[in-house]
Amino acid sequence: MVTPQLLIFDTHKELYLFGAMFFEHTAQQAVAKRGRFLVALAGGGTPRRLYELLADSSLVSNMPWGQTHVFWGDERCVPPDDAGSNFGQAKAVLLDKVDIPAGNIHPINGTLTPTASAKDYAQTLAKFANEGQAWPRFDLVLLGMGSDGHTASLFPGSDPAGQTPTLAVTANYQDRPANRVTLTPAVFNDAHNTLFLVTGKSKASALQAILQADPNKLQWPAQRIQPKNGKLIWLIDSEAGQHLLETSPK
Ligand code: 6PG
């Protein structure tokens, strides 16, 4: 099992800057090694600032957008112009502002039923898989975490074991759309690099349990993210990391 690297930042500025530099560096490495960069984006509010930085070409000036293929780790089943659309957010904040070919953007279709959309996205993933595989090894997976310990749309109480690449999910969290599609741990755990972004004090207790308490994957879905052969890095702000600081030696 890979040991996660925990990076705790005093300021959001440093956290997001690190995230943007890591994203660009990972993309360059992937293109050098494999000729393309496959990334799965996260939804929710936390990555928004990262997407803004990635769109700033004075900061991120060597991003190989032409060889980048963008996917999503999960989606809410709403139209792309709905405020709850993960694709819609990334499009508005990032993808419309950079020189990425339209054919390199692979959203989960939020206008279908969750079941139909999950099936449709499994076919999209299969097109990028190596021979004999059902999904690609992502070069980078971005993930967030809810205050209940969910990640992507893997929610407490569900047991998405097995080799199905995508799942239809219905789950209520805050006032967000309940019908969703998510990639599964089987796909996430194949990635070369996984970057969690976790900020704010509402996440502190769940984060402490996920990283430092005994495993309980049914209660804490983020514990299901255990790359088989990849890097796992958590970018954490000091509020989200406040309970970790109490128990970890500095
Ligand atoms: C989604 C997500 C989800 C998100 C967390 C954290 O589609 O809702 O991908 O897993 O990352 O809910 O959301 P915030 O960043 O808004 O706290």
H-helix or E-strand containing 19? helix 12-34
Protein residue with its CA nearest to atom 10 in ligand 1: 152
Rounded to whole angstroms, the Cα distance separating 217 from 210 reads: 9
Atom number of ligand 1 nearest to Cα 152: 10
Q: How many angstroms is it from 238 CA to the middle of ligand 1?
A: 19
The gap from C-alpha 61 to its chain's centroid, in whole angstroms, comes to: 23
pLDDT digits (tens, 9 = 90+) for 90-149: 999 999 999 999 999 999 999 999 999 999 999 999 999 999 999 999 999 999 999 999
Question: Distance between the two ends of the chain, CA-based, in angstroms?
Answer: 24
Ligand 1: residues within 6 Å at CB?
Answer: 42-46, 74, 76, 86, 144-146, 150-152, 176
Atom number of ligand 1 nearest to Cα 47: 15
How would you label 130-164 residue by residue, b for 16+ Cβ within 10 Å and e otherwise?
A: eeeeebbbbbbbbbbbbbbbbbbbbbbebebeeee
- Higher pLDDT among residues 1 and 204, named by residue: 204
pLDDT digits (tens, 9 = 90+) for 17-52: 999 999 999 999 999 999 999 999 999 999 999 999
Residue 62 contacts residue 35 (beta carbons within 8 Å): no
pLDDT confidence tier of residue 247, bands split at 50, 70 and 90: low
Residue 217 contacts residue 180 (beta carbons within 8 Å): no
Strand order in the sheet with 231-237: 5-9, 231-237, 193-198, 140-143, 37-41, 68-72
Within 35-103, residue ranges assigned H as helices are 48-54, 86-93
Protein residue with its CA nearest to atom 14 in ligand 1: 44
